[in-house]
A and B are shown apart, each in its own frame.
Chain A
Amino acid sequence: MEHRIEVDAAELSRFAPHDHPLWWGILGAVAIEAAVVANLLTSYFYLAAQAEAWPPDGVDPPALLWPTLVLFVLPLSSLTMWWAGKGSDAGRRRQLALGVTASVGLASLALVFRSIQIAEFDIRWDEHAYGSILWAVTGFHYTHVVSAIVGTAVVAVLAWRGYFTPERQLGVVVDTLYWYFVAGVFLPIYLVLYWAPRLL
């Protein structure tokens, strides 16, 4: 048996942060969570279709002000995240650290808005299925934002300590990917929870 070396791996990159298997893994996690959101929103419409009145009589659809603010703050935090990534690509550690920290700040702001808005809900979760699904979807996204914030806070700590380099920035890349998802998934949630009861 003759043994031949056809591919030499010595020269290949050991980092490839934008194309690392972990990047694909996060994509998988995003797919799972997107499926969960899809299931929840489908359940929302299913319950709405079964109900005689949706929202039930005497209950107002949730107010628009705070969620609309969140709708703008979350993409803004994605923007700072993207800017941080640019800095990381170019080796500007300070830009990376600032951007990531700004994102954490903005998302925390979104969380505050979200909390105010939850406090204003016209219905409790145990009064009617409408209240249940409203609280469940809101709670699920709230958890998303919290986990994105704490995850990114860890990235920020590492960034300030100078861990990341243009090669060694896998953590930033995958965190950014997840961040985009958390910001993006709010749009369908926003449309369904705040506009569907008004328009349909």
Chain B
Amino acid sequence: MTDATAPDGTRGRGAGGARGHGAEPEGLPDYVRGGRDGLGEAELAELERTWQSPPGFLAWFTHVNHTNIGRRFIITSLVFFALAGLLALAMRLQLAQPLNDVLGPEAYNQVMTVHGTAMMFLFAIPAMEGAAIYLAPLMVGARDMAFPRLNAFGYYVYLIGGTVFFLSLPFGLAPDAGWFNYVPLSSKEFSAGYGIDVWTTMITFIEVSALTAAVELIVTILKLRAPGMSLDRMPIFVWAVLVMSFMILFAMPSVIVASALLMMDRLVDTAFFDAALGGSPLLWQHLFWFFGHPEVYIILVPALGIVTSIVVTFTRRSVFGYAALVLAIVGIGMVSFGLWVHHMYTTGLPLMGRSFFMAASAMIAIPSGVQVYCWIATMWGARVRFATPMLFVLGFFAIFIAGGLTGVMVASVPFDRQVHDSYFVVAHFHYVLVGGSVFPLLAGLYYWFPKATGRMMSERAGRWSCGLVFVGFNLAFFPMHQLGLEGMPRRVYTYLPETGWTLLNQLATAGSAILALGFAITLANAALSLRRGAPAGDDPWDGPTLEWATTSPPLNCNFARQAVVQSGNPVWDRRRAEVSAHVGGLRTDRRETIVTTVLDARPHAVQVLPGPTPWPFVSALVASAAFLGLIFTPWAYVLGFFAAFVTFVLWFWPRRPWRED
């Protein structure tokens, strides 16, 4: 690795600016000096121009490179995370005193609904997708995603849908029936106005973005892996992304169907959920939770992949039990589809039917246990580097395991009937989701920030942030277990003083403030480090997977030459053998990436990828208009269908000259 350790401070351009901005055709940017991976300087320069995302504000809407889109996904999702977090603080303020009136019941219900929905649909899934879109192609050694334009389309859909959803709050049009949006409360009879319509249309719309991301991640991982990266050499994170994508593929249609049926109930008076006309309110719950439970694991699974990546790098060991970890991830994916009824233990279903789901819900402990003990076996006796990413991983261990254990408790039907819909459950799922998803995401942020920006984040601030988040989190959420057992139901906008819940609620509010401070430090750290962080070099952590084989930030084309892989830790191999094997013969004057077979990743074709184009943005705009119209009239469906179709044709229409080769 000639330039692995070369300090390269001039290169960090920050997360906001795409690599190659303002690069003139004549003057060579520094990072192509001397070529790379055996590719000459002039060729690399041409390749970089080919893969460049054009500069300028208007051109921003034409970008298709996965690094640009992935970065946008992550930043947008972090913005939504911050906003939804502020809503959480508002709720904690309201609950700090009994009969408080910081928020009235109307505002509280809207804030609660938007907080839950945004955290799930606008933060957690897109953040994981963003990480996957940014990292998975790099990790499998591809030049880009399989469908870069679809990728861009998905981003605009998410951006527009999420923004509209959030804007409903200041306009007082926000949904207020909870993120689970149970009928009949969300029916036209009990929720007039546009709030619920905003929920149903925007959720369906945003799911489109999740589905596009899932399809292209699957295809990218199955077909665009570097030659030699057979399935047993894929990084665990990539396995996790693959399983996540399949889960999205099979879970999201269920919520799309549910919200489409509700949309129809509200818009054209169908009777799916109207008990008086033969409908069934429980149908909504089945459909929603058949999506809703896998959803939790959709968020968790890639986080487990992040944890594995970090454990491997910071112990400098290959992971113990590769097959067992793959099994665990696939197993979690499998079991997650068989648990949804445990959200419905109290709806009066037959006991024997519920007993199936009790067994299945507890079953999730096995794959989770296998994961945790594989990590322990990997760390056992290793010289662990306790840098910030690893500290967040340790925090993840403590919180996630605690949340998992309460999860086993609520799997039990009789116990769940006591704590269901109480603050005990609020505590449980925040332990699982914040512990199992936000901690790994922050760990991943500290771990991959240098790769994405070329600069390190501050260790000192990172440690402070980790400590505060850990303490604040436990202070905020541990007392909620007790509150639930004392009888405090969820989703209450206030409580009476004589219930005796005041002190614990005050503790929780104090904890939430500390938690917010911890997050703010990381946010500030990231913002400051963009400019002031120490230069990172290609591989600051000595990581084993292919993303560390390119520059930081990655080249426009990701890799000057795509790698050929011989093991699961290609970068460590290279360092040991002082040899790197590559793919040659790809053209530099257009966007080409190698296509390989599904199982063994043997090369068999070359895919020519499209360059910058505004059509995905136009399509997304038209589709958004159609979905917005659906809030008001069913005819928007017909109109939007054909309008969107026209933009798709324009998008795919072959441009002359038709390629001949």
Whether A and B touch (Cβ < 8 Å) is answered with: yes
B-binding residues in A (CB < 8 A): 1-16, 19-22, 24-25, 28-29, 31-33, 35-36, 38-40, 43, 46-47, 50-51, 56, 125-133, 135-136, 143, 146-147, 150, 154, 158, 163, 168, 171
Residue of A nearest to B579 (CB): A2
CB distance from A132 to the nearest CB of B (A): 4
What residues of A have a CB within 8 angstroms of the CB of B1 in the complex? 1
Residue of A nearest to B577 (CB): A2
Q: Judging by beta carbons under 8 Å apart, are A129 and B279 in contact?
A: yes
Among residues 224 to 271 in chain B, which have CB atoms less than 8 Å away from a CB atom of chain A?
A: 224, 227, 249-250, 252-254, 256-257, 260-261, 264-265, 268-271
- Give the CA-CA distance A127 to B278 in the complex, in Å: 9
Known: A32-B249, A132-B279, A163-B654. A1 touches B579 (CB 8 A): yes
Q: Judging by beta carbons under 8 Å apart, are A25 and B147 in contact?
A: yes
Q: Judging by beta carbons under 8 Å apart, are B279 and A47 in contact?
A: yes
Known: A4-B581, A22-B147, A128-B277. A9 touches B608 (CB 8 A): no
Q: Judging by beta carbons under 8 Å apart, are A28 and B604 in contact?
A: no
Known: A6-B582, A46-B283, A46-B286. A39 touches B254 (CB 8 A): yes
Known: A47-B283, A51-B278. A36 touches B256 (CB 8 A): yes
- Give the CA-CA distance A163 to B654 in the complex, in Å: 9
Q: Judging by beta carbons under 8 Å apart, are A32 and B211 in contact?
A: yes
CB distance from B290 to the nearest CB of A (A): 8
What residues of B have a CB within 8 angstroms of the CB of A43 in the complex? 257, 261, 272, 283, 287
What residues of B have a CB within 8 angstroms of the CB of A40 in the complex? 257
User: Can you give 8 contacting A-B residue pairs, CB < 8 Å?
Assistant: A5-B582, A6-B564, A7-B227, A7-B585, A9-B583, A36-B256, A125-B269, A133-B272
What residues of A have a CB within 8 angstroms of the CB of B282 in the complex? 50
From B585, B645, B652, contact of A9 by CB (8 A): B585
B584 interfacial by beta-carbon distance below 8 Å? yes
Q: Judging by beta carbons under 8 Å apart, are A7 and B659 in contact?
A: no
From B253, B274, B579, contact of A36 by CB (8 A): B253
From A11, A33, A129, contact of B585 by CB (8 A): A11
Which stretch from B168-176, B214-222, B342-350, B389-397 is at the chain A interface?
Answer: B214-222
What residues of A have a CB within 8 angstroms of the CB of B38 in the complex? 3-5
From B215, B224, B265, B603, contact of A28 by CB (8 A): B215
Write out, one digit per residue, whether chain B residues 50-73 have a CB within 8 A of any chain A CB (1) or not (0).
Answer: 000000000000000000000000
What residues of B have a CB within 8 angstroms of the CB of A133 in the complex? 272
Q: Judging by beta carbons under 8 Å apart, are A1 and B578 in contact?
A: yes
Q: Judging by beta carbons under 8 Å apart, are B269 and A126 in contact?
A: yes
Known: A2-B579, A143-B641. A35 touches B261 (CB 8 A): no
Q: Judging by beta carbons under 8 Å apart, are A163 and B579 in contact?
A: no
- Give the CA-CA distance A146 to B641 in the complex, in Å: 10
- Give the CA-CA distance A22 to B27 in the complex, in Å: 37
Residue of A nearest to B595 (CB): A21
What residues of B have a CB within 8 angstroms of the CB of A50 in the complex? 278, 280, 282-283
What residues of B have a CB within 8 angstroms of the CB of A171 in the complex? 652
Q: Judging by beta carbons under 8 Å apart, are A5 and B654 in contact?
A: no
- Give the CA-CA distance A4 to B277 in the complex, in Å: 71
B592 interfacial by beta-carbon distance below 8 Å? yes
- Give the CA-CA distance A43 to B652 in the complex, in Å: 35
Q: Judging by beta carbons under 8 Å apart, are B223 and A9 in contact?
A: no
What residues of B have a CB within 8 angstroms of the CB of A128 in the complex? 271, 277-278
What residues of B have a CB within 8 angstroms of the CB of A4 in the complex? 38, 579-582
Write out, one digit per residue, whether chain B residues 561-585 have a CB within 8 A of any chain A CB (1) or not (0).
Answer: 1001000000000100011111111
- Give the CA-CA distance A16 to B214 in the complex, in Å: 23
B599 interfacial by beta-carbon distance below 8 Å? no
Q: Judging by beta carbons under 8 Å apart, are A129 and B274 in contact?
A: yes
CB distance from B255 to the nearest CB of A (A): 9
Smallest CB-CB A-B distances: 5 pairs: A3-B38, A10-B585, A28-B215, A5-B584, A132-B270
- Give the CA-CA distance A40 to B268 in the complex, in Å: 18
CB distance from A25 to the nearest CB of B (A): 5
B605 interfacial by beta-carbon distance below 8 Å? yes
CB distance from B404 to the nearest CB of A (A): 28
Known: A6-B581, A9-B592, A125-B270. A14 touches B280 (CB 8 A): no
From B223, B586, B645, contact of A147 by CB (8 A): B645
CB distance from A2 to the nearest CB of B (A): 5
Q: Judging by beta carbons under 8 Å apart, are B594 and A25 in contact?
A: no
Known: A7-B564, A20-B607, A28-B214. A136 touches B278 (CB 8 A): no
Among residues 584 to 607 in chain B, which have CB atoms less than 8 Å away from a CB atom of chain A?
A: 584-586, 592, 594-595, 603-607
- Give the CA-CA distance A39 to B290 in the complex, in Å: 10
Q: Judging by beta carbons under 8 Å apart, are A7 and B584 in contact?
A: yes
B658 interfacial by beta-carbon distance below 8 Å? yes
- Give the CA-CA distance A35 to B38 in the complex, in Å: 47
